[in-house]
Amino acid sequence: MAAIVLAGRRLPPRAAAVALRRQRSLPWWPPLLAGAYVVLGILASSRGAVAGDALARVVNADLVVAGTNPHFAAVGFVWGPLPSLIEAPLLLLFNGSVPGMLANGYAGVIMSSGFGAWLVWHVYRFVREEGAGAGWGAMIAAGIALNPMIVIYAISGMSEVPFLCTLVAALRHLVSWMRRGRSSELALAGCWLGAGYLIRYETLAAAAGAMVLTAGFSSYRARQAGLPRTRQAIADALVFAIPVLVAFVLFTGVSWWFTGQLFGEFSQEYGNPFFVRTLGAGMLPPSQVAGIISTDILGLEPLFPVVVALGVGVALRWRSEIFLALVAVLGAVAAFEVYSVATGSILTWLRFFISVIPFTTLALVLFRPWRLLGVALAVAVIGASFAGSWAITGNPAYANSELPYRALATGTPPYLATVNGAIELPGARAVAHWLDAEVADANTVLVDNQGNTFTVIAESRRSDLFVTPASRNFESTLEAPYQHGVRYFVTIPPTLGAAYSIVNRYYPGIWRGCVRDTQLAYTVGQRGDPSYWRVYRLTGPVSPGNSGDAPACRSISASILPAS
């Protein structure tokens, strides 16, 4: 059995034919799909449908490349850094010529559209690699590409679709490994999930599930081949897990290095616990939460239980690797989200359940051997999903970030939803334009980019005006702003919880004008508006906790200051 490796003859003929199925060249439609998503996204955001989280990520990207202190750590450590790091070069290259890149979040649109098209490509290749023809491939791919929920998230600049892309890519490689046993496939699956972790932390659930599957499957295969089971299983689990571990250690380590905090996503200040506390979800009774969860899932995929039941049946009967892999990767994520929502550690937002869409749609390939019946089932499931997603994303009781996009699609004006829904940009725009006109020097406006006021940075044409928590020496600037050159504070009403703006936390009386040596310079909005903000000018040195002597000010409690 002699084999030879020579230059230029990388693949022996038969293997080359197998490899062709992998199709290394890119077909025509993914770039077209990406372009379509970008166009839709630009249309939507230029009409006011901008997702809050998406714009915040773009602002983080902007802080990495623009402003007075460009540095990588400005990307922030509360969310996965990868989307912002991808948007950063876009801003660097195009923000001058296309102001909407930052102001309307187009950089985010481009990022998520690209991932959206890539997701659909992975779905298509997955189906084809199962041995299905182009018809099935197109059907399943369209089932994802045209699904209203997926479309919304592909065009919005949010991280859900990029996240799904990494999951499905990992799934593809995992199934390939299960079929053919090539370690390179397992390594690639691990690398995709490593990248996924840098997008959203829920990837860890998928990684855990996949690792269990890897160890179990490897052990099973080793037993069949008569090799030592435990060792092979451990080796395979490591091959899979190390890239995820590297991503985890890297992000955690860098986070610790720069902020002193290991896990910003779970921090009390800006992470999930904060949202849950301020937006008060933990107070719903369990039965209601269960009802919301099931409505969300069934809304997105009405035939989800049917597919799961049939899938389990097929998997048991035909020992299908696909179903196992789907459960281990996408199912684990969905289960994790359900658990998190049920225990109240995150809110009941519809988009947390987005992973059921690719789970159900990809599971349809299990029914391909049923021929016409399989096709009919697939069409029914996909059709039901389209209808259900369309309906639930238009329902204000369940949808929130999705509403503006849905509203645009039906021609009604964007629904002004709560904090993490669409954000109202006109208010931010007004403040930003006023600041652009009024303020000459850099580093003179202090604003918290992690609260709601990040939109001011987005709408301003001069990123260098702003001092944010990402700036160098932010703490010392916060303690002695005037001495550091700061002349303006942008602040929000304290009713949202003082923790929601670091300015309010350090200067509790600022909103009511109770801080000495400050005067109201500009105001926008009224009580009850999403953008009800004030800009205070500093006329002299101020220090934290200095609430002033007027009677109305004396009641301001200084205990909201952070423990140092």
Partner 1 sequence: MLGHAVEDSPDERRKRLIAHHPQPAEQARAEALDLAIHGLERTRPEMSARRTLVGWQRSAMAVTCAVLALGFAMQPVLTGSILISLLVALYVAAMVERSVVFARGLRAVEFLIRRPLPPMSDEELPRYTILVPAYREAEVVGHLVESLGALDYPPDKLEVLLLVEEDDDLTISALLPLDLPSFARVLLVPASEPRTKPKACNYGLHFATGELVTIYDAEDRPEPLQLRRAVDAFRRAGPRTVCLQARLQYYNARQNMLTRWFTVDYTTWFAIFLPGLASFGLPVPLGGTSNHIRAESLVAVGGWDPYNVTEDADLGIRLVRSGLRTGIIDSVTYEEANSDGLNWVRQRSRWYKGYMQTWLVHARQPVRMLRELGPHGFVSVTLLTGATPLLSGVNLLSWTCTIIFIIGTPSSLAQVFPAPVVYFGTAAAFFGNATVVYVSLIACRQTHQGHLAWAALTYPLYWVLMAVAAVKSLWQLVARPSYWEKTVHGLARAGPG
CA-closest candidate to residue 59, choices 491, 464, 455? 455
Supply the minimum distance, in Å, between the C-beta of residue 253 and partner 1: 8
Contacts (Cβ under 8 Å, ≥6 apart) of 268:
274
Position 384 contacts partner 1 (CB under 8 A): no
Position 184 contacts partner 1 (CB under 8 A): yes
Position 228 contacts partner 1 (CB under 8 A): yes
Nearer to partner 1, 1 or 397 (CB): 1
Nearer to partner 1, 262 or 376 (CB): 262
Position 26 contacts partner 1 (CB under 8 A): no
Tell me which stretch binds partner 1 (CB under 8 A): 224-232, 277-285, 361-369, 517-525.
224-232
Position 250 contacts partner 1 (CB under 8 A): yes
Position 11 contacts partner 1 (CB under 8 A): yes
**Residues in 41-100 that interact with partner 1 by CB under 8 A:** 72
Secondary structure (3-state) at 511? coil
Contact criterion met (CB below 8 Å) for 365 and 147: no
**Cα distance between residue 304 and residue 554, in whole Å:** 58
**Cα distance between residue 529 and residue 424, in whole Å:** 9
The two structure tokens encoding residue 170 = 């990992």
The backbone torsions φ and ψ at residue 493, rounded to the nearest 5 degrees and listed phi first, read -65, 140
Supply the minimum distance, in Å, between the C-beta of residue 11 and partner 1: 5
Nearer to partner 1, 19 or 309 (CB): 19
Q: Which of 132, 142, 234, 276 binds partner 1 (CB under 8 A)?
A: 234
Secondary structure (3-state) at 523? strand
Position 146 contacts partner 1 (CB under 8 A): no
Nearer to partner 1, 8 or 285 (CB): 8
**DSSP 8-class letter at 347:** -
Supply the minimum distance, in Å, between the C-beta of residue 242 and partner 1: 5
Nearer to partner 1, 134 or 249 (CB): 249
Secondary structure (3-state) at 270? coil
Supply the minimum distance, in Å, between the C-beta of residue 324 and partner 1: 21
The 3-class SS string of 33-50 reads HHHHHHHHHHHHHHCCCC
Nearer to partner 1, 253 or 313 (CB): 253
Position 246 contacts partner 1 (CB under 8 A): yes
Helix axes 160-180, 356-363, angle to 10 degrees: 40
Position 371 contacts partner 1 (CB under 8 A): no
Contacts (Cβ under 8 Å, ≥6 apart) of 554:
547
**Cα distance between residue 229 and residue 215, in whole Å:** 9
The two structure tokens encoding residue 187 = 């390594």
Nearer to partner 1, 227 or 480 (CB): 227
Contact flags string 493-532 toward partner 1, x per CB under 8 A: ----------------------------------------
Position 6 contacts partner 1 (CB under 8 A): yes
Q: Which of 7, 283, 372, 397 binds partner 1 (CB under 8 A)?
A: 7
Position 312 contacts partner 1 (CB under 8 A): no
**Cα distance between residue 409 and residue 393, in whole Å:** 11
Position 243 contacts partner 1 (CB under 8 A): yes
The 3-class SS string of 401-461 reads CCHHHHHHHHCCCCCCCCCCCECCHHHHHHHHHHHHHHCCCCCCEECCCCCCCHHHHHHCC
Nearer to partner 1, 227 or 316 (CB): 227
Position 224 contacts partner 1 (CB under 8 A): no
Nearer to partner 1, 184 or 473 (CB): 184
Nearer to partner 1, 137 or 196 (CB): 196
Supply the minimum distance, in Å, between the C-beta of residue 19 and partner 1: 7
**Cα distance between residue 23 and residue 3, in whole Å:** 25
Q: Tokens 């301003």 correspond to what residue?
A: 460
CA-closest candidate to residue 259, choices 454, 443, 58, 474? 474
Position 448 contacts partner 1 (CB under 8 A): no
Helix axes 134-145, 148-155, angle to 10 degrees: 70
Position 239 contacts partner 1 (CB under 8 A): yes
Position 236 contacts partner 1 (CB under 8 A): yes
Buried b (16+ CB within 10 A) or exposed e, 98-107: beebbbbbbb
Position 182 contacts partner 1 (CB under 8 A): yes
Q: Which residues pair with 491 in a beta bridge?
A: 534
Position 206 contacts partner 1 (CB under 8 A): no
Please state the separation of Cα 508 from the chain's center in Å.
32
CA-closest candidate to residue 323, choices 376, 366, 370, 353? 366
Q: How many chain residues are in contact with partner 1, going by CB under 8 A? A: 32
Position 12 contacts partner 1 (CB under 8 A): yes
Q: Which of 21, 231, 277, 554 binds partner 1 (CB under 8 A)?
A: 231
Position 24 contacts partner 1 (CB under 8 A): no
**Angle at CA of residue 12, ends 11 and 14, nearest 5°:** 110
Tell me which stretch binds partner 1 (CB under 8 A): 243-251, 336-344, 499-507, 540-548.
243-251
Position 20 contacts partner 1 (CB under 8 A): no
* Residues engaged in binding partner 1 (CB under 8 A): 1-8, 10-12, 14-15, 19, 72, 182-184, 187, 227-228, 231-232, 234-236, 238-239, 242-243, 246, 250
